[in-house]
Structure 1
Amino acid sequence: MTISDLVMPGLRRNPRRAHLLVSTVLGKHVPTDPDIVIGAGERLADQVTNVLGADADPVVFGFAETATGLGHCVATRLNARCYLHSTRRDVPQIGTLAGFEEGHSHATSHQLQPTSADLFANDHPLVLVDDEISTGATAVDAIRALHEHSPRGRYVIASLVDMRAQEHRDAVDIAAAELGVQIDSVSLAEGHTVLPDGLVESVGALPDPVLNPVGTRIGGVERLDIDWPAAVPEGGRHGFLRENTEEFDAAIRESARTLGARLDHQRPVIVVGHEELMYLPLRIARALSDSGYRVRFQTTTRSPAYVLDRPGYPLRRGFRFIAPENGEDQPRFVYNAQWSNEDPLVVAVIDEAADTDRLTARDGLLDVLTASGTDVLLAVVSGADPLSLRAARLGASA
């Protein structure tokens, strides 16, 4: 595959980095066929297997927020013993094992919050998954943080696209020598980014983007509660173990059946996950697609990108809304959320932490979507509980 098969150039107002590589296979900014999203993760996992061998038995780590679902796809394909992704949501009752910073991101701090430190306490190869590697600095910082907790001899950095210059690759090699480890890299495509001088200033000088479009009618909202088993992880935020797979898959099938009973086969559906909650709604989207529904998948994001309704630009429509989680001050965004020449139903999949009054308030997610004329089915995944998950794991190891 080539870079142009996987990403399109976009812009964002960020003093650290004004360009944005918008993935066409990730299901973040652009509504994407769930089979394409999962297929990209599986191809990336196969690249990892080519490096490590089929008997390596790795653990997998994904970067929040963009690669939480991608990392889980890789882990599933590898049948990994454990998958963990970093998080920007603080869960005090679980505690933070370690943390690191991402220099160019809009939200820079990453936390690692497994249910116990023992989940990563092994010497198996560790695969770090991200959608894009620009310098490798964030991956190296993560390796240092994880290596301090649980040293191991082998790491693999896996990304959809690798845009590093030679100096960045050399820096990873230097870090590997300092730690006394082997760090390999795999990707679906490699390339480099050429930026015009003064891009940050030029983007900053652009007119404010037109966000939150208003339609000729107000869309409707319906709510559906999806019961999720308390001791089954809904993703990798607190660690997903190989032995969780069977119960997770069963819960996905039941969730898709529950949702399918509320859908019309004649109307296209866009399943929209919420930030780090990517893999669960992705799997629901695929199950609905397998049942004959026309489905695309994407998620909300913390990243403020520049919206421009012009052919060929990937961010044609954008919505800014207040974060539904209590205590969060920064706005959230969702882009595009549309289906060419048709009127889709948006199925917004959220977890309990996002099920607040802020979700339904003025300028909340439901308000801005319905103001554009979009009909929304709100699917609340309720029941998953990190403390119940921890207790179940402690019981299983007793």
Structure 2
Amino acid sequence: MENLTENYYNGSIQYNIDNRLKISLNINENKCNIPLSKLFTMSARENKKRDFLFVSKVIGKHMPMIPGTLKIIGGILARLWINERESSYHYPTTELVHTLISLDASRSMMDLNLKSEEKTMRNHNISVNLSNSNDILNTPIKLANKTLFIGFAETATGLAQAVFQNFSNASYIHTTREKITSIEPALFFNEEHSHAVEHSLFPYKQDFFNDFEDIVLIDDELTTGKSALNLIKCLPGKSFGILSILDWRDAISYKMFEDEKNINVRVCSLVKGDIQCSKSKNIVSDAITQSSSSTKLIPSKEHVFEIADSIEGFNKATGRFGLSSKDNSKVFEEIKSISEILKKERTTGNCLCIGTGEFIYLPCSISSKLGDNVFFHSTTRSPVHARNIDCYGNKNKVAFQSPEDDTITNYLYNIPDNFYNQVFFFSEKPLLKEKKEELNRLFSHFHVKSIIFVCWKG
């Protein structure tokens, strides 16, 4: 399906999905020379507005990753931004890039079939790389301008908060598709190509957006940049940035940015290129796995953590209502204290930690402290064709109604059978008994041995 070498950096890449969807990428720039096979693969969307999906391997959404990956990619993008915005090269990315390349979840999953001494060596190398990178990331970056970072829901909320937490004097908020009634949204805009187009912003104070010299939007990839421009047009100020892992804008999209004469937009990305896509026939998905009442329940347990600071049960530590760098110490302490409790629940074998929807950064950060052989990704609203074929991003698909909203279908992708012994399922709010039983049976179908439900209660 995919014409590539293990470590391709630049040039042309061809994808051919079932001889029905052909995608051609031409890579023009790769700033850190990260092998693109470490960053993403491709899948086919179930979406008439756009046929393809860049399936990221580093943001904890569709594909499992080693949890520490999120912090590393966030650190790399943060340093790219300070280089771009302030021409400051005091924060090199070399060590972080080496660590990112070593944190290959797909290779680690294969390596788990190795002998015990080889597994020990692999885990040791990962721990050393992460330790070295954490020393670098623990030196906060100070920005010259008062800056707000905005993450795009749902995919980039974890990525954006992982970028923000590198700075000592910044603020953060993310867009949301959640229904919040006790606060009037400050902004409302559409992401036109998406399966769920409506986004809102709910800052904790009305004049929140007026305090910043720079406003930087963070997403995992830009295809046209139109969604980012839609948001920028709603925001006060004239100095804006867009920070992304991938940038696929074509000449028409570049002109769209140039035509915005009254807005200064600086775009910074790891990889730049262009894309061409043609479809001859519709993709036919493999069967979807759904919960069955005939599947036996597996042993389960629940941890409910009390939070003093929430709005309608949503944890303020997520940044949905706004955070400042001063808040990071509290967030880090929450991550540390919860991980110490949950680590006592770890059993032997492979462990999957699952975030839900926009709730990515906090569970991923906790997961990174739960030991070896831990993998992380999250549920999504995004419907993608599942095909169990080589070099395809979404091997299988699990469907269920959102634990928090029965009107919304959620999906999980890439759950291998007979691989995970234990699952930690993180939700922002407590789940009803019937929801926990539905999820229990789903993971039982894949021969998981036990499940721990983790939630917060305001």
Which band: TM-score by shorter chain?
A: 0.7 to 0.9
Where does 1:368-387 land on structure 2 (aligned, <5 Å)?
368-374=442-448, 375-383=450-458
Q: CA offset at residue 343 of structure 1?
A: 2.8
Q: What's 1:356 paired with?
A: 432
Aligned residue identity for 1:156: G
Where does 1:10-21 land on structure 2 (aligned, <5 Å)?
10-21=43-54
**Whole-Å separation in 2 of the counterparts to 1:34 and 1:368:** 22
Deviations 1:367-392 (Å, cap 9, x if unpaired)? 32233322321111223xxxxxxxxx
Question: 2:375 aligned with 1:342, yes or no?
Answer: no
Deviations 1:37-68 (Å, cap 9, x if unpaired)? 22111111111111222422311000000000
Where does 1:278-293 land on structure 2 (aligned, <5 Å)?
278-288=360-370, 292-293=371-372
Number of equivalent positions:
363
Q: What's 1:193 paired with?
A: 275
Q: What's 2:287 paired with?
A: 209
Aligned residue identity for 1:273: G
SS in 2 for 1:130: strand
Q: CA offset at residue 358 of structure 1?
A: 5.3
**Whole-Å separation in 1 of the counterparts to 2:344 and 2:150:** 35
Q: What's 2:401 paired with?
A: 322
Q: What's 1:92 paired with?
A: 181
Contact 2:286 2:388 in 1 (8 A): no
Q: What's 1:390 paired with?
A: none
SS in 2 for 1:195: strand
SS in 1 for 2:194: coil
**Whole-Å separation in 1 of the counterparts to 2:58 and 2:421:** 20
**Whole-Å separation in 1 of the counterparts to 2:272 and 2:317:** 32
Q: Answer with 308-317 or 216-225: which moved more.
A: 216-225
SS in 1 for 2:207: helix
Q: CA offset at residue 10 of structure 1?
A: 0.4
Q: CA offset at residue 357 of structure 1?
A: 4.6
Where does 1:160-199 land on structure 2 (aligned, <5 Å)?
160-175=245-260, 177=261, 180-198=262-280
Where does 1:120-159 land on structure 2 (aligned, <5 Å)?
120-146=209-235, 151-159=236-244
Q: CA offset at residue 103 of structure 1?
A: 1.1
**Whole-Å separation in 2 of the counterparts to 1:119 and 1:287:** 33
Q: CA offset at residue 219 of structure 1?
A: 3.4
**Whole-Å separation in 2 of the counterparts to 1:28 and 1:207:** 19
Contact 1:211 1:320 in 2 (8 A): yes
Question: 2:366 aligned with 1:333, yes or no?
Answer: no
Indicate which of 373, 376, 383 corresponds to 1:297: 376
The 1:122–1:330 alpha-carbon spacing in structure 2 relative to 1, beyond 3 Å, is same
Q: CA offset at residue 262 of structure 1?
A: 1.0
Q: Answer with 34-43 or 189-198: which moved more.
A: 189-198
**Whole-Å separation in 2 of the counterparts to 1:377 and 1:360:** 10
Q: CA offset at residue 73 of structure 1?
A: 0.8
Q: CA offset at residue 113 of structure 1?
A: 0.8
SS in 2 for 1:82: strand
Contact 1:132 1:162 in 2 (8 A): yes
Q: CA offset at residue 106 of structure 1?
A: 0.8
SS in 1 for 2:255: helix
Q: What's 1:59 paired with?
A: 148
Deviations 1:300-352 (Å, cap 9, x if unpaired)? 000011111223222112110011114x412100111348x733311110011
Give the superposed CA RMSD.
2.2
Question: 2:69 aligned with 1:36, yes or no?
Answer: yes
Identical positions, percent: 26
Contact 2:45 2:383 in 1 (8 A): yes
Q: CA offset at residue 366 of structure 1?
A: 3.3
Aligned residue identity for 2:343: G
The 1:344–1:190 alpha-carbon spacing in structure 2 relative to 1, beyond 3 Å, is farther
Indicate which of 67, 77, 102 corresponds to 2:191: 102
**Whole-Å separation in 1 of the counterparts to 2:275 and 2:38:** 15
SS in 2 for 1:188: strand
Indicate which of 105, 116, 122 corresponds to 2:205: 116
TM-score relative to the length of structure 1: 0.85
Q: What's 2:322 paired with?
A: 239
**Whole-Å separation in 2 of the counterparts to 1:137 and 1:358:** 40
**Whole-Å separation in 2 of the counterparts to 1:183 and 1:238:** 24
Aligned residue identity for 2:455: V
Question: 2:104 aligned with 1:71, yes or no?
Answer: no
Q: What's 2:440 paired with?
A: 366
What residue ranges of structure 1 are gaps of 5+ in the alignment? 384-398
**Whole-Å separation in 1 of the counterparts to 2:291 and 2:174:** 33
Q: CA offset at residue 85 of structure 1?
A: 0.3
Contact 1:123 1:153 in 2 (8 A): no
**Whole-Å separation in 1 of the counterparts to 2:440 and 2:208:** 37
Contact 2:39 2:56 in 1 (8 A): yes
Q: Answer with 270-279 or 33-42: which moved more.
A: 33-42
Contact 2:297 2:441 in 1 (8 A): no
The 1:371–1:221 alpha-carbon spacing in structure 2 relative to 1, beyond 3 Å, is farther
